[in-house]
Structure 1
Amino acid sequence: MERRKFVGLAMTLASALAVPAHAFGKQPALARVILDNDFAGDPDGLFQLAHHALCSSVKISLIVGSHLPAKFGSGHDAQDAIARVGEVLEIMKLAGKYSIIAGSETPIQSRTSSKPSTASAAIVREAMREDANEPLIYAAGAGLTDLALAWLSEPRIGRRIKLVWIGGNTHSGFGNPGAKPGEPEFNFSIDPVAAQVLFNESDIEIWQVPSDAYSQMLFSTAELEELGGQSRLGAYLKSRVDAIPEMFAKIPGVPPVAMTDAYVLGDSPLVTLTALVPPMQPDPTSSRYKLLPTPRLLDNGSYAERAGGRPMRVYTYVDAGLTFRDMLARFRLLSAA
């Protein structure tokens, strides 16, 4: 290529790359997302919430605060969860921007005795909207009570929603079995019936991030220390992590939390898999998954192969480097605004 043509092409490309972000404001959003998490429990959900709220590629349609297992809970976990959401959004100067609702305070006792909740009704309304063009993703970082109640009350939402779930035991041969192999994974144990309804009965497409994958999302305590000194949001998030040992100490039978130099921000893949994707191929290409028929989910959280099951993704690796670089950059930009 002639030097003059090359220089001209380079200048044209540079000009295109220099277009300010607001010039792309008319691009369609990737998706609508419903965020569902036990925001009053492990604070990893609060990091995910703040990160998601700063991503421009998705529209947050609804935020659901969900319950914890009885052993860990207060009896009003869902209400506590939305209070935590309110604190984060107030710090971020985003109070009043989103629809926030408390989910059910108890798990589903049996499929036949289930009753819709206020949150499940809101989920159905969002899924059945005819005035929205973007696909709907249900980003869940804890139990699945309210989505299961929504599907049981209105099965037509199954073809109108995709579930991205942080939860479930490692699939055999896919990764490390975890610290307590053979035991039900924590998020599954919050509401086993709900998880079984969605795996075994519903037609909802599932992208699962099981325990071996989400436990890879390690954020160092040095990074956390730096974050805590950078902004009011960083200080708040660090304070929630710092409160974990005291919180666990109040739970009978739970051993003391060991001192380590990293913390698992296990809910952050919800951001990676929904928002951090390339424009020409809007799929989380830097993460890895296995495609398999959705298995039957058993009472103890293990899986039974089911050849005719609908296809599902089981993520084996999530790009933690991209996730946390982006999260920290967005937090810095927020504090500089």
Structure 2
Amino acid sequence: MRTLPSRRSALAGSLAALLLAGTARGETRPRQRVILDNDFSGDPDGLFQLAHHLLSPSVEIPFIVGSHIHVHDFLDGSTTQADNAVERVQALMATLPGTRRPDVIAGRNSAPEPGTAPEATPAARRIVAEAMRDDTKLPLFYCAGAGLTELAQALRLEPRISDRLTLAWIGGMEYRDLLSGVPERHDREYNLTIDLAAAQTVFNDARVPIWQVPRNVYRQMIVSDAELKTRLKPTGALGDFLLAQVSRVKSLLPTLGETYILGDSPLVTLTALQTPFEPDSASSAYVERPTPRLDADGRYQNNPSGRPMRVYTTIDTRLTFDDMFAKFAAASA
């Protein structure tokens, strides 16, 4: 339904008054709630995204979920990946004294067997409880930078939460018609394969709105080693911690060259860095289309009757990285 011009003007005027009032007090008020779910013991791009979110006052973070990756993954070959993710989050937050410290919950340490009944894990129960809150009007985003195990469990336990949150997901294969000159890939995308059955639950069976950043788009989030060192070295304990995480991966894979992909950072762009008026991720391009079904290989099957979803085609890297490094510098001042 379109907003009538007079109504739109009134809303804009009210929002402007609120923004000016907050600015006069030196405050930025939360405009969204974001649940953060990532494989923090795996690829350190999630730790950059986490620190950036923690330093972004426009979002309220009810809690953080530490999730698993692949069994025997070279980045964490243990059987306690979710527990290790929680420890990594706590270590990061220790470098940010005075910054808010949301609860951190371990998800499952591995994906459940496909077809098994949903389990009311602590993380799944907390997701349901947050989505079903009726004491706040702040919209809820579920920001996932890895697999979708815990969200899928929560959706199966309580399907009504589909109508009460939006999933922003870093994951999934490319869409052939949206490649824009990028060569097509045929291998399955990493985050998708962490728990394919969970992704199928979210895409095929649930109603939850999806804002997807597929592989060819999150790979746009490239920074050079030289930039990372130059921008992070002056930021003290936080910068030292993040550089150490990247160095660990580089030591395991010395053929990675002189760049790194901070592929989870769009989760901040799409939530904390929305426009001031008529809030949206206006500087990042997307197309809206019916949500496809995922087949047994994780490939998209046309589903013309699927609910509308967003597929992002570009992310505003300037806004994302300039804001991130500026906030890291301010936190160390």
- 1:47 maps to what in 2? 48
Once the two structures are superposed, what CA deviation does each residue of 1:120-155 show, in whole Å capped at 9, x if it has no partner?
A: 011111111111210110000000000000000011
For the structure 1 residues 108 and 300, does the alpha-carbon distance in structure 2 shift closer, same or farther, using more than 3 Å as the test?
same
1:56 and 2:53 equivalent? no
- 1:309 maps to what in 2? 306
The gaps in structure 1 that reach 5 residues or longer are 1-16, 249-255
- 2:82 maps to what in 1? 78
- 1:325 maps to what in 2? 322
Deviation at 1:106, TM superposition (A): 1.3
After the TM superposition, which residues 283-302 of structure 1 pair with which residues of structure 2 at under 5 Å, given as runs? 283-302=280-299
Name the amino acid aligned to 2:163. Answer: R
Deviation at 1:223, TM superposition (A): 1.1
* CA distance, structure 2, for counterparts of residue 45 and residue 91 of structure 1: 16
1:233 and 2:238 equivalent? yes
Tell whether the 8 Å contact from 2:176 to 2:184 is kept in structure 1 after alignment.
no
* CA distance, structure 2, for counterparts of residue 117 and residue 289 of structure 1: 34
1:23 aligned residue (10, 22, 25): 25
- 2:4 maps to what in 1? none
- 2:178 maps to what in 1? 174
- 1:198 maps to what in 2? 202
* CA distance, structure 1, for counterparts of residue 308 and residue 208 of structure 2: 10
1:105 aligned residue (96, 106, 109): 109
Give aligned-pair identity as a percent. Answer: 45
Name the amino acid aligned to 1:330. Answer: K
For the structure 1 residues 56 and 28, does the alpha-carbon distance in structure 2 shift closer, same or farther, using more than 3 Å as the test?
closer
- 1:253 maps to what in 2? none
- 1:267 maps to what in 2? 264
Tell whether the 8 Å contact from 2:39 to 2:68 is kept in structure 1 after alignment.
yes
For the structure 1 residues 262 and 309, does the alpha-carbon distance in structure 2 shift closer, same or farther, using more than 3 Å as the test?
same
Tell whether the 8 Å contact from 1:170 to 1:210 is kept in structure 2 after alignment.
yes
Tell whether the 8 Å contact from 1:294 to 1:311 is kept in structure 2 after alignment.
yes
Name the amino acid aligned to 1:67. Answer: H
TM-score normalised over the length of structure 1: 0.88
SS of residue matched to 1:243: helix
- 1:251 maps to what in 2? none
* CA distance, structure 2, for counterparts of residue 330 and residue 226 of structure 1: 15
Deviation at 1:334, TM superposition (A): 0.6
Name the amino acid aligned to 2:95. Answer: I
Once the two structures are superposed, what CA deviation does each residue of 1:292-337 show, in whole Å capped at 9, x if it has no partner?
A: 000001121210000000000000100111100000000111111x
For the structure 1 residues 321 and 108, does the alpha-carbon distance in structure 2 shift closer, same or farther, using more than 3 Å as the test?
same
Deviation at 1:28, TM superposition (A): 5.0
SS of residue matched to 1:286: coil
Deviation at 1:209, TM superposition (A): 0.2
Tell whether the 8 Å contact from 2:174 to 2:184 is kept in structure 1 after alignment.
no
* CA distance, structure 1, for counterparts of residue 100 and residue 143 of structure 2: 21
Tell whether the 8 Å contact from 2:223 to 2:262 is kept in structure 1 after alignment.
yes
Deviation at 1:59, TM superposition (A): 0.2
For the structure 1 residues 264 and 24, does the alpha-carbon distance in structure 2 shift closer, same or farther, using more than 3 Å as the test?
same
Counting matched residue pairs gives: 311
* CA distance, structure 2, for counterparts of residue 113 and residue 281 of structure 1: 41
Name the amino acid aligned to 2:25. Answer: A
Tell whether the 8 Å contact from 2:22 to 2:29 is kept in structure 1 after alignment.
no
* CA distance, structure 2, for counterparts of residue 261 and residue 313 of structure 1: 32
Deviation at 1:228, TM superposition (A): 3.6
SS of residue matched to 1:113: coil
Deviation at 1:173, TM superposition (A): 1.7
Deviation at 1:185, TM superposition (A): 0.2
* CA distance, structure 1, for counterparts of residue 323 and residue 108 of structure 2: 32
For the structure 1 residues 20 and 130, does the alpha-carbon distance in structure 2 shift closer, same or farther, using more than 3 Å as the test?
closer
- Which structure has the larger Rg over C-alpha atoms? 1
Deviation at 1:220, TM superposition (A): 1.2
1:243 aligned residue (239, 244, 248): 248
TM-score normalised over the length of structure 2: 0.89
SS of residue matched to 1:219: strand
- 2:139 maps to what in 1? 135
Once the two structures are superposed, what CA deviation does each residue of 1:236-259 show, in whole Å capped at 9, x if it has no partner?
A: 10110000034x4xxxxxxx4414
- 1:145 maps to what in 2? 149
